[in-house]
Amino acid sequence: MSTVAAVGYVIAFSLFILGLMGLTSPRTAVRGNWTAAAGMGVAIVSTLLLPGMGDWWLIVLGLVLGTVVGVPAARRVKMTAMPQMVALFNGVGGGAVALIAWVEFRDTFGYLGLPLYVAVASLFAAIIGSVSFWGSLVAFGKLQAWLPTRPVTIGVLHRPLTLVALAAAGAYAIVVMTGSTSEWLVIGVLVASAFFGVLMVLPIGGADMPVVISLLNAATGLSAAAMGLALDNTALIVAGMLVGASGSILTNLMAKAMNRSLLAILAGGFGGTGGQVTGRVDDRPVRSTSASDAAIQLAYANRVVVVPGYGMAVAQAQHAVREMADLLEGKGVEVSYAVHPVAGRMPGHMNVLLAEANVPYESLKDLDESNALLPQADVALVIGANDVVNPAARTDSSSPIYGMPVLDVVSSRSVIVLKRSTGAGFAGIDNELFADPKTSMLFGDAKSSVSEVVSELKDL
Protein backbone atom coordinates (compact mmCIF):
# COMPACT_ATOMS: atom_id res chain seq x y z
CA MET A 1 0.00 0.00 0.00
CA SER A 2 1.33 3.49 -0.82
CA THR A 3 2.18 5.80 2.09
CA VAL A 4 -0.40 8.33 0.90
CA ALA A 5 -3.14 5.69 0.92
CA ALA A 6 -2.03 4.41 4.35
CA VAL A 7 -2.13 7.93 5.83
CA GLY A 8 -5.50 8.50 4.15
CA TYR A 9 -6.87 5.32 5.76
CA VAL A 10 -5.68 6.35 9.23
CA ILE A 11 -7.39 9.75 8.78
CA ALA A 12 -10.54 7.99 7.55
CA PHE A 13 -10.64 5.60 10.57
CA SER A 14 -10.18 8.51 12.97
CA LEU A 15 -13.06 10.34 11.30
CA PHE A 16 -15.27 7.21 11.48
CA ILE A 17 -14.63 6.89 15.22
CA LEU A 18 -15.16 10.61 15.84
CA GLY A 19 -18.36 10.38 13.78
CA LEU A 20 -19.64 7.47 15.87
CA MET A 21 -18.86 9.39 19.05
CA GLY A 22 -20.87 12.33 17.67
CA LEU A 23 -23.86 10.03 17.09
CA THR A 24 -24.15 9.34 20.82
CA SER A 25 -26.00 12.62 21.46
CA PRO A 26 -28.73 14.39 19.46
CA ARG A 27 -26.81 17.64 19.93
CA THR A 28 -23.75 16.35 18.06
CA ALA A 29 -25.45 13.77 15.81
CA VAL A 30 -25.60 15.89 12.63
CA ARG A 31 -21.94 16.83 12.98
CA GLY A 32 -21.12 13.16 13.71
CA ASN A 33 -22.89 12.10 10.52
CA TRP A 34 -20.96 14.64 8.42
CA THR A 35 -17.68 13.62 10.09
CA ALA A 36 -18.24 9.94 9.27
CA ALA A 37 -19.30 10.85 5.72
CA ALA A 38 -16.09 12.87 5.31
CA GLY A 39 -14.19 9.81 6.60
CA MET A 40 -15.84 7.68 3.92
CA GLY A 41 -14.88 10.28 1.30
CA VAL A 42 -11.23 10.11 2.44
CA ALA A 43 -11.38 6.27 2.42
CA ILE A 44 -12.72 6.21 -1.15
CA VAL A 45 -10.08 8.65 -2.44
CA SER A 46 -7.32 6.72 -0.60
CA THR A 47 -8.52 3.46 -2.17
CA LEU A 48 -8.49 5.04 -5.61
CA LEU A 49 -4.84 6.00 -4.97
CA LEU A 50 -3.88 2.35 -4.41
CA PRO A 51 -1.50 0.95 -7.04
CA GLY A 52 -3.15 -0.99 -9.85
CA MET A 53 -6.37 1.02 -9.97
CA GLY A 54 -7.80 1.03 -13.48
CA ASP A 55 -11.07 1.24 -15.39
CA TRP A 56 -11.55 4.87 -14.39
CA TRP A 57 -14.67 5.28 -16.50
CA LEU A 58 -16.34 2.40 -14.69
CA ILE A 59 -15.31 3.83 -11.32
CA VAL A 60 -16.63 7.30 -12.22
CA LEU A 61 -19.84 5.75 -13.57
CA GLY A 62 -20.33 3.88 -10.27
CA LEU A 63 -19.73 7.02 -8.21
CA VAL A 64 -22.10 9.10 -10.36
CA LEU A 65 -24.83 6.42 -10.32
CA GLY A 66 -24.56 6.04 -6.54
CA THR A 67 -24.77 9.79 -6.01
CA VAL A 68 -27.64 10.31 -8.45
CA VAL A 69 -29.73 7.56 -6.80
CA GLY A 70 -28.61 7.99 -3.17
CA VAL A 71 -28.72 11.75 -2.59
CA PRO A 72 -32.29 12.49 -3.81
CA ALA A 73 -33.59 9.29 -2.16
CA ALA A 74 -32.09 10.28 1.20
CA ARG A 75 -33.31 13.87 0.85
CA ARG A 76 -36.87 12.97 -0.08
CA VAL A 77 -37.50 10.10 2.31
CA LYS A 78 -40.10 10.76 5.00
CA MET A 79 -39.04 10.35 8.60
CA THR A 80 -41.54 7.49 9.03
CA ALA A 81 -40.01 5.66 6.04
CA MET A 82 -36.46 5.90 7.38
CA PRO A 83 -36.26 2.25 8.62
CA GLN A 84 -36.96 0.88 5.11
CA MET A 85 -34.47 3.36 3.64
CA VAL A 86 -31.82 2.05 6.03
CA ALA A 87 -32.83 -1.51 5.07
CA LEU A 88 -32.31 -0.73 1.39
CA PHE A 89 -28.97 1.03 1.83
CA ASN A 90 -27.75 -1.73 4.12
CA GLY A 91 -28.91 -4.43 1.72
CA VAL A 92 -27.03 -2.81 -1.14
CA GLY A 93 -23.86 -2.95 0.98
CA GLY A 94 -24.34 -6.68 1.58
CA GLY A 95 -25.08 -7.25 -2.11
CA ALA A 96 -21.90 -5.41 -3.10
CA VAL A 97 -19.84 -7.61 -0.76
CA ALA A 98 -21.41 -10.77 -2.24
CA LEU A 99 -20.61 -9.60 -5.78
CA ILE A 100 -17.02 -8.71 -4.85
CA ALA A 101 -16.61 -12.20 -3.38
CA TRP A 102 -17.79 -13.69 -6.69
CA VAL A 103 -15.43 -11.46 -8.70
CA GLU A 104 -12.57 -12.40 -6.37
CA PHE A 105 -13.24 -16.10 -7.03
CA ARG A 106 -13.13 -15.48 -10.83
CA ASP A 107 -10.04 -13.25 -10.65
CA THR A 108 -8.05 -15.80 -8.69
CA PHE A 109 -9.32 -18.80 -10.72
CA GLY A 110 -10.87 -20.33 -7.60
CA TYR A 111 -8.32 -19.01 -5.07
CA LEU A 112 -5.54 -20.81 -6.95
CA GLY A 113 -2.29 -20.78 -4.94
CA LEU A 114 -3.77 -18.55 -2.22
CA PRO A 115 -3.77 -19.38 1.51
CA LEU A 116 -6.91 -21.10 2.80
CA TYR A 117 -7.93 -18.13 4.92
CA VAL A 118 -8.55 -16.08 1.75
CA ALA A 119 -11.10 -18.62 0.50
CA VAL A 120 -12.69 -18.96 3.96
CA ALA A 121 -13.03 -15.18 4.46
CA SER A 122 -14.24 -14.60 0.91
CA LEU A 123 -16.89 -17.34 1.02
CA PHE A 124 -18.02 -16.23 4.49
CA ALA A 125 -18.44 -12.73 3.01
CA ALA A 126 -20.35 -14.18 0.04
CA ILE A 127 -22.80 -16.02 2.33
CA ILE A 128 -23.42 -13.20 4.81
CA GLY A 129 -23.50 -10.53 2.08
CA SER A 130 -26.08 -12.44 0.07
CA VAL A 131 -28.21 -13.21 3.18
CA SER A 132 -28.06 -9.54 4.11
CA PHE A 133 -29.00 -8.31 0.63
CA TRP A 134 -32.01 -10.57 0.17
CA GLY A 135 -33.10 -10.37 3.81
CA SER A 136 -32.95 -6.58 3.67
CA LEU A 137 -35.02 -6.54 0.48
CA VAL A 138 -37.73 -8.57 2.21
CA ALA A 139 -37.54 -6.24 5.24
CA PHE A 140 -37.86 -3.25 2.89
CA GLY A 141 -40.84 -4.85 1.14
CA LYS A 142 -42.60 -5.49 4.44
CA LEU A 143 -42.05 -2.01 5.83
CA GLN A 144 -43.10 -0.43 2.53
CA ALA A 145 -46.20 -2.71 2.60
CA TRP A 146 -45.25 -4.15 -0.81
CA LEU A 147 -45.16 -7.51 0.97
CA PRO A 148 -47.59 -8.62 3.70
CA THR A 149 -46.40 -7.16 7.02
CA ARG A 150 -47.80 -10.16 8.92
CA PRO A 151 -45.52 -13.16 9.47
CA VAL A 152 -45.50 -15.21 6.24
CA THR A 153 -44.53 -18.88 6.04
CA ILE A 154 -44.85 -21.57 3.40
CA GLY A 155 -46.28 -24.03 5.91
CA VAL A 156 -44.67 -26.78 7.97
CA LEU A 157 -41.82 -27.05 5.51
CA HIS A 158 -40.71 -23.49 6.15
CA ARG A 159 -38.22 -24.12 8.93
CA PRO A 160 -36.71 -27.31 7.45
CA LEU A 161 -36.29 -25.53 4.08
CA THR A 162 -34.63 -22.55 5.77
CA LEU A 163 -32.11 -24.88 7.41
CA VAL A 164 -31.57 -26.80 4.13
CA ALA A 165 -30.79 -23.50 2.34
CA LEU A 166 -28.22 -22.57 4.99
CA ALA A 167 -26.70 -26.06 4.97
CA ALA A 168 -26.50 -26.01 1.16
CA ALA A 169 -24.69 -22.64 1.18
CA GLY A 170 -22.23 -24.01 3.75
CA ALA A 171 -21.74 -27.27 1.84
CA TYR A 172 -21.04 -25.53 -1.52
CA ALA A 173 -18.57 -23.23 0.26
CA ILE A 174 -16.74 -26.19 1.83
CA VAL A 175 -16.41 -27.91 -1.57
CA VAL A 176 -14.85 -24.70 -2.97
CA MET A 177 -12.47 -24.52 0.00
CA THR A 178 -11.30 -28.06 -0.67
CA GLY A 179 -10.01 -26.90 -4.06
CA SER A 180 -12.86 -27.20 -6.54
CA THR A 181 -12.74 -24.39 -9.09
CA SER A 182 -16.21 -24.70 -10.62
CA GLU A 183 -17.87 -21.27 -10.75
CA TRP A 184 -21.29 -22.94 -10.39
CA LEU A 185 -20.38 -23.76 -6.80
CA VAL A 186 -19.93 -20.07 -5.93
CA ILE A 187 -23.19 -19.27 -7.72
CA GLY A 188 -24.72 -22.06 -5.61
CA VAL A 189 -23.37 -20.39 -2.44
CA LEU A 190 -24.94 -17.06 -3.44
CA VAL A 191 -28.30 -18.55 -4.46
CA ALA A 192 -28.65 -20.83 -1.41
CA SER A 193 -27.76 -17.90 0.87
CA ALA A 194 -30.35 -15.77 -0.94
CA PHE A 195 -33.01 -18.41 -0.22
CA PHE A 196 -31.90 -18.52 3.42
CA GLY A 197 -32.13 -14.70 3.71
CA VAL A 198 -35.62 -14.57 2.23
CA LEU A 199 -36.93 -17.55 4.24
CA MET A 200 -35.39 -16.18 7.45
CA VAL A 201 -37.04 -12.75 7.24
CA LEU A 202 -40.45 -13.70 5.76
CA PRO A 203 -41.89 -15.18 9.02
CA ILE A 204 -40.90 -12.14 11.07
CA GLY A 205 -43.74 -9.66 11.64
CA GLY A 206 -43.38 -6.19 10.10
CA ALA A 207 -43.30 -4.81 13.62
CA ASP A 208 -40.00 -6.49 14.44
CA MET A 209 -38.38 -5.33 11.21
CA PRO A 210 -36.30 -2.48 12.71
CA VAL A 211 -34.50 -4.98 14.95
CA VAL A 212 -34.01 -7.35 12.02
CA ILE A 213 -32.64 -4.48 9.91
CA SER A 214 -30.21 -3.58 12.67
CA LEU A 215 -29.13 -7.25 12.84
CA LEU A 216 -28.68 -7.48 9.06
CA ASN A 217 -26.76 -4.21 9.19
CA ALA A 218 -24.36 -5.76 11.71
CA ALA A 219 -24.08 -8.81 9.43
CA THR A 220 -23.24 -6.60 6.43
CA GLY A 221 -20.46 -5.01 8.51
CA LEU A 222 -19.03 -8.43 9.34
CA SER A 223 -19.19 -9.55 5.71
CA ALA A 224 -17.35 -6.37 4.63
CA ALA A 225 -14.70 -6.99 7.27
CA ALA A 226 -14.27 -10.59 6.06
CA MET A 227 -13.97 -9.36 2.47
CA GLY A 228 -11.35 -6.85 3.66
CA LEU A 229 -9.39 -9.76 5.12
CA ALA A 230 -9.60 -11.68 1.84
CA LEU A 231 -8.57 -8.64 -0.21
CA ASP A 232 -6.01 -7.47 2.33
CA ASN A 233 -7.76 -4.10 2.51
CA THR A 234 -7.45 -2.43 5.91
CA ALA A 235 -10.18 0.13 5.22
CA LEU A 236 -12.78 -2.58 4.64
CA ILE A 237 -11.68 -4.50 7.74
CA VAL A 238 -11.89 -1.47 10.05
CA ALA A 239 -15.07 0.04 8.58
CA GLY A 240 -16.72 -3.39 8.51
CA MET A 241 -15.80 -4.13 12.13
CA LEU A 242 -17.11 -0.73 13.24
CA VAL A 243 -20.43 -1.37 11.50
CA GLY A 244 -20.55 -4.94 12.81
CA ALA A 245 -19.80 -3.94 16.40
CA SER A 246 -22.08 -0.90 16.56
CA GLY A 247 -24.86 -2.78 14.75
CA SER A 248 -24.64 -5.67 17.24
CA ILE A 249 -24.76 -3.28 20.22
CA LEU A 250 -27.75 -1.44 18.73
CA THR A 251 -29.58 -4.72 18.00
CA ASN A 252 -29.03 -5.83 21.57
CA LEU A 253 -30.21 -2.49 23.03
CA MET A 254 -33.36 -2.49 20.88
CA ALA A 255 -34.22 -6.07 21.80
CA LYS A 256 -33.70 -5.24 25.49
CA ALA A 257 -35.82 -2.08 25.38
CA MET A 258 -38.61 -4.16 23.82
CA ASN A 259 -38.02 -6.95 26.32
CA ARG A 260 -37.70 -9.46 23.48
CA SER A 261 -34.87 -11.89 23.06
CA LEU A 262 -33.17 -11.92 19.68
CA LEU A 263 -34.09 -15.59 19.31
CA ALA A 264 -37.76 -14.80 19.95
CA ILE A 265 -37.59 -12.07 17.29
CA LEU A 266 -35.99 -14.40 14.75
CA ALA A 267 -38.54 -17.11 15.60
CA GLY A 268 -41.10 -14.62 14.22
CA GLY A 269 -44.82 -14.28 14.65
CA PHE A 270 -44.97 -11.02 16.60
CA GLY A 271 -46.68 -7.78 15.56
CA GLY A 272 -47.91 -6.69 12.16
CA THR A 273 -51.49 -7.09 13.33
CA GLY A 274 -52.62 -3.45 12.99
CA GLY A 275 -54.92 -1.75 15.44
CA GLN A 276 -58.64 -2.49 15.70
CA VAL A 277 -61.04 0.41 16.09
CA THR A 278 -63.19 0.17 19.21
CA GLY A 279 -64.65 2.62 21.69
CA ARG A 280 -64.01 0.41 24.68
CA VAL A 281 -61.17 -1.52 26.23
CA ASP A 282 -62.13 -5.02 27.37
CA ASP A 283 -65.71 -3.77 27.56
CA ARG A 284 -64.73 -1.01 29.95
CA PRO A 285 -65.90 2.39 28.70
CA VAL A 286 -63.37 5.12 28.02
CA ARG A 287 -63.86 8.82 28.70
CA SER A 288 -63.38 11.17 25.79
CA THR A 289 -62.58 14.85 26.02
CA SER A 290 -62.60 17.85 23.68
CA ALA A 291 -59.78 20.10 22.50
CA SER A 292 -61.13 23.01 24.54
CA ASP A 293 -61.35 20.96 27.77
CA ALA A 294 -57.87 19.58 27.16
CA ALA A 295 -56.54 23.12 26.56
CA ILE A 296 -58.03 24.34 29.87
CA GLN A 297 -56.61 21.33 31.75
CA LEU A 298 -53.17 21.98 30.25
CA ALA A 299 -53.21 25.76 30.74
CA TYR A 300 -54.00 25.43 34.45
CA ALA A 301 -51.34 22.80 35.11
CA ASN A 302 -48.00 23.57 36.74
CA ARG A 303 -46.17 20.75 35.06
CA VAL A 304 -46.98 18.92 31.82
CA VAL A 305 -45.06 15.92 30.53
CA VAL A 306 -45.53 15.25 26.80
CA VAL A 307 -45.14 11.57 25.85
CA PRO A 308 -44.60 11.30 22.09
CA GLY A 309 -45.01 8.04 20.19
CA TYR A 310 -45.30 6.57 16.74
CA GLY A 311 -48.62 8.38 16.09
CA MET A 312 -46.90 11.75 16.47
CA ALA A 313 -44.47 10.69 13.75
CA VAL A 314 -47.23 9.45 11.44
CA ALA A 315 -49.22 12.66 11.92
CA GLN A 316 -46.07 14.81 11.67
CA ALA A 317 -47.40 16.68 14.69
CA GLN A 318 -44.01 17.70 16.13
CA HIS A 319 -44.16 21.34 14.99
CA ALA A 320 -47.70 21.78 16.37
CA VAL A 321 -46.52 20.16 19.62
CA ARG A 322 -43.66 22.66 19.86
CA GLU A 323 -46.10 25.55 19.27
CA MET A 324 -48.39 24.19 21.99
CA ALA A 325 -45.46 23.86 24.41
CA ASP A 326 -44.38 27.46 23.67
CA LEU A 327 -47.90 28.70 24.45
CA LEU A 328 -48.03 26.68 27.67
CA GLU A 329 -44.60 27.90 28.75
CA GLY A 330 -45.80 31.44 28.05
CA LYS A 331 -48.51 30.76 30.62
CA GLY A 332 -45.93 29.60 33.18
CA VAL A 333 -46.41 25.85 32.67
CA GLU A 334 -43.26 23.72 32.85
CA VAL A 335 -43.19 21.39 29.84
CA SER A 336 -40.89 18.42 29.39
CA TYR A 337 -40.85 15.43 27.03
CA ALA A 338 -40.68 11.80 28.16
CA VAL A 339 -38.79 9.92 25.45
CA HIS A 340 -38.96 6.13 25.60
CA PRO A 341 -35.99 4.42 23.90
CA VAL A 342 -38.20 2.50 21.46
CA ALA A 343 -41.02 5.00 20.99
CA GLY A 344 -41.73 5.16 17.27
CA ARG A 345 -40.25 2.73 14.81
CA MET A 346 -36.51 3.25 14.99
CA PRO A 347 -33.96 4.16 17.61
CA GLY A 348 -33.92 7.90 18.28
CA HIS A 349 -37.12 8.41 16.24
CA MET A 350 -38.66 10.84 18.73
CA ASN A 351 -35.38 12.68 19.38
CA VAL A 352 -34.99 13.36 15.67
CA LEU A 353 -38.56 14.61 15.24
CA LEU A 354 -38.44 16.84 18.31
CA ALA A 355 -35.03 18.19 17.28
CA GLU A 356 -36.50 18.97 13.84
CA ALA A 357 -39.12 21.10 15.64
CA ASN A 358 -36.35 22.82 17.65
CA VAL A 359 -37.45 21.43 20.99
CA PRO A 360 -34.55 22.20 23.38
CA TYR A 361 -32.54 19.06 24.24
CA GLU A 362 -32.68 19.90 27.94
CA SER A 363 -36.46 19.34 27.87
CA LEU A 364 -36.04 15.76 26.58
CA LYS A 365 -36.00 13.25 29.45
CA ASP A 366 -34.98 9.63 29.15
CA LEU A 367 -36.97 6.73 30.58
CA ASP A 368 -35.61 6.87 34.13
CA GLU A 369 -35.70 10.67 34.38
CA SER A 370 -39.25 10.66 33.02
CA ASN A 371 -40.48 8.05 35.47
CA ALA A 372 -39.05 10.16 38.29
CA LEU A 373 -40.76 13.27 36.87
CA LEU A 374 -44.20 11.84 36.04
CA PRO A 375 -45.50 11.59 39.66
CA GLN A 376 -45.04 15.36 39.94
CA ALA A 377 -46.83 16.07 36.64
CA ASP A 378 -50.34 17.48 36.61
CA VAL A 379 -50.93 16.20 33.10
CA ALA A 380 -49.20 13.47 31.11
CA LEU A 381 -50.06 14.30 27.49
CA VAL A 382 -49.65 11.10 25.48
CA ILE A 383 -49.42 11.91 21.77
CA GLY A 384 -49.74 8.86 19.53
CA ALA A 385 -47.92 6.58 21.98
CA ASN A 386 -49.42 3.29 23.01
CA ASP A 387 -47.17 0.31 23.87
CA VAL A 388 -44.58 2.48 25.61
CA VAL A 389 -47.23 3.64 28.12
CA ASN A 390 -49.07 0.33 28.49
CA PRO A 391 -49.32 -0.55 32.22
CA ALA A 392 -49.72 -4.24 31.28
CA ALA A 393 -45.94 -4.32 30.86
CA ARG A 394 -45.72 -3.86 34.64
CA THR A 395 -48.85 -5.57 35.88
CA ASP A 396 -49.92 -8.41 33.57
CA SER A 397 -47.49 -11.32 33.48
CA SER A 398 -49.47 -12.92 30.62
CA SER A 399 -48.98 -9.88 28.37
CA PRO A 400 -46.54 -10.25 25.45
CA ILE A 401 -44.88 -7.00 26.54
CA TYR A 402 -44.64 -7.98 30.24
CA GLY A 403 -41.27 -6.85 31.56
CA MET A 404 -40.74 -4.19 28.88
CA PRO A 405 -39.74 -0.97 30.65
CA VAL A 406 -42.56 1.56 30.14
CA LEU A 407 -43.34 5.17 31.00
CA ASP A 408 -45.50 5.15 34.13
CA VAL A 409 -47.96 7.84 33.00
CA VAL A 410 -50.69 6.77 35.45
CA SER A 411 -48.43 7.98 38.27
CA SER A 412 -49.18 11.56 37.15
CA ARG A 413 -52.29 13.38 38.34
CA SER A 414 -54.13 13.06 35.04
CA VAL A 415 -53.55 11.64 31.58
CA ILE A 416 -54.77 12.88 28.21
CA VAL A 417 -54.24 10.47 25.30
CA LEU A 418 -54.31 11.75 21.72
CA LYS A 419 -54.98 9.05 19.13
CA ARG A 420 -57.63 8.17 16.61
CA SER A 421 -59.22 5.22 18.44
CA THR A 422 -58.61 2.83 21.31
CA GLY A 423 -56.98 0.49 18.78
CA ALA A 424 -53.73 -1.34 19.44
CA GLY A 425 -50.23 -0.21 18.55
CA PHE A 426 -47.22 -2.11 17.33
CA ALA A 427 -47.57 -5.04 19.74
CA GLY A 428 -51.21 -5.55 18.74
CA ILE A 429 -52.52 -5.61 22.31
CA ASP A 430 -55.17 -3.70 24.30
CA ASN A 431 -54.14 -0.89 26.60
CA GLU A 432 -55.88 -0.60 29.99
CA LEU A 433 -54.58 2.94 30.30
CA PHE A 434 -57.36 4.19 28.03
CA ALA A 435 -60.01 2.98 30.51
CA ASP A 436 -58.20 4.25 33.61
CA PRO A 437 -60.28 6.74 35.64
CA LYS A 438 -57.41 9.25 35.39
CA THR A 439 -57.39 9.11 31.60
CA SER A 440 -59.36 11.07 29.05
CA MET A 441 -59.04 10.44 25.32
CA LEU A 442 -58.86 13.19 22.71
CA PHE A 443 -59.78 11.22 19.60
CA GLY A 444 -58.48 12.27 16.19
CA ASP A 445 -55.35 12.70 14.13
CA ALA A 446 -52.58 13.90 16.44
CA LYS A 447 -51.68 16.93 14.32
CA SER A 448 -55.31 18.12 14.01
CA SER A 449 -55.93 17.54 17.73
CA VAL A 450 -52.79 19.41 18.82
CA SER A 451 -53.57 22.24 16.36
CA GLU A 452 -57.08 22.53 17.84
CA VAL A 453 -55.59 22.63 21.35
CA VAL A 454 -53.20 25.36 20.13
CA SER A 455 -56.04 27.55 18.84
CA GLU A 456 -57.98 27.00 22.07
CA LEU A 457 -54.90 27.98 24.09
CA LYS A 458 -54.56 31.17 22.04
CA ASP A 459 -58.11 32.12 23.04
CA LEU A 460 -57.59 31.49 26.76
Q: Which residues are catalytic?
A: 387
Cβ–Cβ < 8 Å for 362, 295: no
CB of 410 to ligand NAP, least distance (A): 15
Select the span of 48-56, 92-100, 128-136, 336-344 touching ligand NAP (CB under 6 A).
336-344
- For residues 193 and 130, give the distance between their C-alpha atoms in angstroms, rounded to a whole number: 6
Q: Which of 16, 111, 270, 310 binds ligand NAP (CB under 6 A)?
A: 310
Please state whether 443 falls in left (phi above 0), alpha (psi between -120 and 50) or beta. Answer: beta
Decide whether 207 or 359 has the Cβ nearer to ligand NAP.
Answer: 207
Cβ–Cβ < 8 Å for 433, 439: yes
Decide whether 166 or 321 has the Cβ nearer to ligand NAP.
Answer: 321
- For residues 138 and 135, give the distance between their C-alpha atoms in angstroms, rounded to a whole number: 5
Q: Which of 142, 322, 365, 419 binds ligand NAP (CB under 6 A)?
A: 419
β 303-308/334-338 pair status = parallel
Is 384 near ligand NAP (CB under 6 A)? yes
Q: Which of 305, 345, 354, 453 binds ligand NAP (CB under 6 A)?
A: 345
Q: Which of 125, 229, 304, 346 binds ligand NAP (CB under 6 A)?
A: 346
Is 324 near ligand NAP (CB under 6 A)? no
Is 258 near ligand NAP (CB under 6 A)? yes
- For residues 131 and 220, give the distance between their C-alpha atoms in angstroms, rounded to a whole number: 9
For residues 363 to 382, the per-residue mask of contacts with ligand NAP, x marking binding by CB under 6 A and - elsewhere, is --------------------
Q: Which of 427, 435, 441, 442 binds ligand NAP (CB under 6 A)?
A: 427
Please state whether 444 falls in left (phi above 0), alpha (psi between -120 and 50) or beta. Answer: left
Amino acid in the structure at residue 10: V
Decide whether 197 or 205 has the Cβ nearer to ligand NAP.
Answer: 205
Q: Which parts of 112-171 interact with ligand NAP (CB under 6 A)? A: none
Q: What are phi and psi of 205, to 5 degrees?
A: -65, 150
Is 309 near ligand NAP (CB under 6 A)? yes
Select the span of 37-45, 152-160, 205-213, 261-269 touching ligand NAP (CB under 6 A).
205-213
- For residues 406 and 402, give the distance between their C-alpha atoms in angstroms, rounded to a whole number: 10
- For residues 188 and 193, give the distance between their C-alpha atoms in angstroms, rounded to a whole number: 8
Q: Which of 326, 378, 396, 445 binds ligand NAP (CB under 6 A)?
A: 445
- For residues 348 and 351, give the distance between their C-alpha atoms in angstroms, rounded to a whole number: 5
Amino acid in the structure at residue 15: L
Q: What is the dihedral of CA 401, 407, 412, 418, to 10 degrees?
A: -80
- Which residues fall within 8 angstroms of residue 356, CB to CB, at 6 or more apart? 79, 318, 319
Select the span of 92-100, 170-178, 293-301, 421-429 touching ligand NAP (CB under 6 A).
421-429
Query: Which residues lie near ligand NAP (CB under 6 A)?
Result: 207, 210-211, 254, 258, 275, 309-311, 314-315, 342-347, 349, 384-388, 418-421, 423, 425-427, 445-446
